[in-house]
């Protein structure tokens, strides 16, 4: 595996292949970083190594070197030096290389450890996220199950309420019908009384006319100036009125409350004052012991004058 020197500025870490600046403290920098830090050229001011903060006071403490020298440079660079100097230079060069190699290994180890720690932290966080997600999923499933049960209960309760509402509506309808029936029954006596009063008033209105006609007897010698009297249109006596009134109130008609033809003739014979009247139809309907409604009454008079309407 090829090993390449890198700039010792941590923010740079550029790979060095052609030229570089080396220091006596065994650090190496690229030309751009060396120019920025003032290490490329000797300076009257003391220079400082950016890696280890060592003061480089001598001019030769930082020098530029060729990392890929030519064959001629290799031949002449150490020429003229005694073997001890050559070995010392070679030894220091090997120490520089060993130091850079160790620093690179330490850096890579630190980088690997940092990445491992980050991975472990991320793995732990991921496990927590997965655990929290599973817990939340379990909680949501439990809530969903509870909501389904509650939904079933509410649906069942709603169905019960619907059934109760239908039952209440049915009972309400029955009660309303019963109320209307009772109301109609309670109003029947009032209708009966009103019909009876109407009949009585109608019959009583006929009494003065009949009385006036019976009191004025025809003269044997009628005056030539007076016109002939018309025949009595409504022969009537009070006893007959009271008798027909009793027939209407007693309800002694047929089983259904209707006056039969025989009874109508008997009423006509029993009431001699009403021979001029023929009750055409008197219909009564009763429920139980009380009359329901006074349906219809109509009287035809022999003179041909109809009188219609309820009594």
Say how many CA atoms lie within 13 Å of 14 toward its Cβ: 14
Residue 53 pLDDT greater than 80, yes or no? yes
Residue 127: predicted pLDDT: 95
**What local confidence, expressed as pLDDT, does residue 230 receive?**
47
**Residue 156, token pair as written in the block:** 């069942």
Distance between CA atoms of 258 and 263, rounded to whole angstroms? Answer: 10
pLDDT score for 134: 95
Which among 300, 233, 303, 305 is positioned nearest to 273, based on CA atoms? 233
**pLDDT tens digits for 153-165?**
999 999 999 999 9
Per-residue pLDDT at 297:
39
Reported as a single tens digit per residue, the pLDDT across 240-298 is 444 444 444 444 444 444 444 444 444 444 444 444 444 433 333 333 333 334 333 33
Token pair in block for residue 169? 């509506």
- pLDDT for position 94: 92
Would you state the pLDDT for residue 216?
Answer: 54
| Local confidence band at 213 (pLDDT 50, 70, 90 cut-offs) | low
**Is a pLDDT exceeding 70 seen at residue 144?**
yes
What average pLDDT does this structure show over 33-54? 83
Which tens digits make up the pLDDT trace of 75-89?
888 888 888 998 998
Tell me the pTM.
Answer: 0.44
Mean pLDDT, residues 12-32 taken together? 88
Domains of the chain: 1-77 (3.30.40), 188-212+233-308 (no CATH)
Rounded-to-integer distance, Cα 10 and Cα 33, Å: 11
Q: Please tell me the distance from the alpha carbon of residue 244 to that of residue 236, in angstroms, as a whole number.
A: 12
- The more confidently predicted of residues 207 and 150 is 150
Residue 311 per-residue DSSP state: -
């Amino acid at each position: 595996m090829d090993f390449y020197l890198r700039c010792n500025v941590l923010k740079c870490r550029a790979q060095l292949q052609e030229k570089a600046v080396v220091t006596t403290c065994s650090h190496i920098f690229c030309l751009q970083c060396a120019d920025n830090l003032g290490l490329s050229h000797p300076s009257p001011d003391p220079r400082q190594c950016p890696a280890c903060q060592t003061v480089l006071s001598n001019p030769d403490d930082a020098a530029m070197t060729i990392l890929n020298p030519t064959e001629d440079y290799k031949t002449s660079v150490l020429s003229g030096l005694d073997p001890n100097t050559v070995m010392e230079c070679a030894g220091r060069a090997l120490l520089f290389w060993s130091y850079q190699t160790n620093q690179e290994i330490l850096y890579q180890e630190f980088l690997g450890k940092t990445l491992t720690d980050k991975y472990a932290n991320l793995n732990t966080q991921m496990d927590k996220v997965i655990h929290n997600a599973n817990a939340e999923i379990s909680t949501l499933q439990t809530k969903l199950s509870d909501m389904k049960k509650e939904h079933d209960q509410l649906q069942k309760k709603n169905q019960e309420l619907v059934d109760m509402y239908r039952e209440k509506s049915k009972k309400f309808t029955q009660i309303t019908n019963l109320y209307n029936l009772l109301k109609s029954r309670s109003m029947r006596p009032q209708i009966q009384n009103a019909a009876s009063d109407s009949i009585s008033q109608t019959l009583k209105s006929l009494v003065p006319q009949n009385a006036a006609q019976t009191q004025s007897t025809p003269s044997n010698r009628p005056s030539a100036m007076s016109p002939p009297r018309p025949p009595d249109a409504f022969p009537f006596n009070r006893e007959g009125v009271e008798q027909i009134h009793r027939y209407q109130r007693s309800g002694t008609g047929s089983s259904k409350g209707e006056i039969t033809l025989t009874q109508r003739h008997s009423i006509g014979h029993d009431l001699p004052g009403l021979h001029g009247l023929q009750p055409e139809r008197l219909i009564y309907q009763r429920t139980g012991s009380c009359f329901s409604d006074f349906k219809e009454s109509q009287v035809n008079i022999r003179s041909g004058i109809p009188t219609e309407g309820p009594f």
